[in-house]
Structure 1
């Protein structure tokens, strides 16, 4: 009976781990933006990571929208083999001062279009921009995007906390609070890796089960001593 209990507990733990692994994989398959040097008031390299979430089609087009409320005075696009890049300039609703420059128009979208096969099924690629100046007094910047597949499917990466496909968002370095900045590396890794937490929980569960079995199978010390005393008498 105990053996069946151990097997059942192990199966439950393994199934839970697989579910968590699937959730982690799904959560990581978003279009994201990161930067190695983004700071308010400065220039930065923005890197958009684009996964192809299809088993049969490839990504053939990516359109990234830049913030109109915080426009960039400078936008440079990475030159990529196999891709054509187009920057679209738009007149702003009202002039915006960026550093020492007042902008009445700005680049609002950057479009990469594949001239070849694009990003293959189940693979990813990265598309980079050099922008500046970044706004000050802003926690993060949002970059809505549109991803087009070779089979005609179009995925809208938009703003909204409940969006199925959330827009890429960049958190500016100087906007990080002292508490968050002083968090221990282990805490940061644990909070950003649900799979690691799931594996740790499963291991703890199996360890507790093993401890319980060991305690149940051990003969009480007092009982053994009493029987020995009777035999000697």
Structure 2
């Protein structure tokens, strides 16, 4: 009985492990893609989008990443953040035709951002690096921001992540990093207004904190004054009562 139960448990474990291995094998290629994180942002707003770059080689390291921006739905501002061991360059160029962005005509926009590893730096096998970008205003005339990327390895290999994803279709071998753009919330403009609201909340919190400290100080002062007055009253109550002066009739009785 025990042997039969043990064999059944071992078979179940083997089946589970095999299924898990197949599932992992099916998901590994997705981990090797260059992607944009987060994958969703608001139209017309500002957002921090990170280019997540995994290293898919077992022997070589990634030393360069180039990200291309669209010119039909342009982004006019891109800011990088210092990344140890890497240099970043934002390239702007003239648009094929003027484009209206937030009510104004734009003739120049971001066309490319390039990160290059300094000597001795690379994304090694089994590693990944996030390259953050502060972008905005994000396009409003489309529901996607497609950012084709080119990944260069130190063995000379170059991988282009630029294939479009077909709606409802299978994912291509080298999909282009894509951010889904959703309509902005009513009365808001994405991350830009969010930052302003955060600043307002911080100011209000600071004002409230200052007021609370001021009231607390006044309360302590009044408490100290009350304690002093109470202490004085207690000391007065403990003093011996003065001896009353002898009355005139007492003096007369004593002389008699």
After superposition, the C-alpha distances for 1:101-149 in whole angstroms (9 at most, x for unaligned) are 3121222110001013221221011111111111224222111000001
Q: What CA distance in whole angstroms lies between the structure 2 residues aligned with 1:108 and 1:24?
A: 32
What displacement does 1:36 show? Answer: 8.9
Q: Classify 1:145/1:100 alpha carbon distance in 2 versus 1 (closer, same or farther; 3 Å).
A: same
1:133 matched to 2:156? The reply is no
Q: Extract structure 1 runs of 4+ deviating beyond 3 A.
A: 2-10, 173-176
1:58 matched to 2:58? The reply is no
Q: Is the 8 A contact 1:138 1:175 kept in 2?
A: no
Q: Which runs of 5+ in 1 are unaligned?
A: 177-233
Q: Is the 8 A contact 2:54 2:129 kept in 1?
A: yes
Q: Which residue of 2 aligns with 1:152?
A: 156
1:113 matched to 2:116? The reply is yes
Aligned residue among 14, 17, 22 for 2:20: 17
Q: Which residue of 2 aligns with 1:182?
A: none
User: Larger deviation: 33-42 or 49-58?
Assistant: 33-42
Q: Which residue of 1 aligns with 2:204?
A: none
Structural RMSD (CA)? 2.5
Q: What CA distance in whole angstroms lies between the structure 2 residues aligned with 1:175 and 1:156?
A: 31
What displacement does 1:8 show? Answer: 4.6
Q: Is the 8 A contact 1:139 1:175 kept in 2?
A: no
Q: Secondary structure at the match of 1:38?
A: strand
Q: What CA distance in whole angstroms lies between the structure 2 residues aligned with 1:36 and 1:170?
A: 5
Q: What CA distance in whole angstroms lies between the structure 1 residues aligned with 2:133 and 2:99?
A: 21
Q: Which residue of 1 aligns with 2:102?
A: 99
What displacement does 1:154 show? Answer: 0.6
Q: What CA distance in whole angstroms lies between the structure 2 residues aligned with 1:12 and 1:89?
A: 55
User: Larger deviation: 60-69 or 161-170?
Assistant: 161-170
Q: Which runs of 5+ in 2 are unaligned?
A: 166-170, 186-256
Q: Is the 8 A contact 1:37 1:44 kept in 2?
A: no
Q: What CA distance in whole angstroms lies between the structure 1 residues aligned with 2:43 and 2:142?
A: 8
Q: Paired residues, what number? A: 176
Q: Secondary structure at the match of 1:164?
A: coil
Q: Is the 8 A contact 2:51 2:132 kept in 1?
A: yes
Q: Which residue of 1 aligns with 2:37?
A: 34
TM-score by length of 1: 0.67
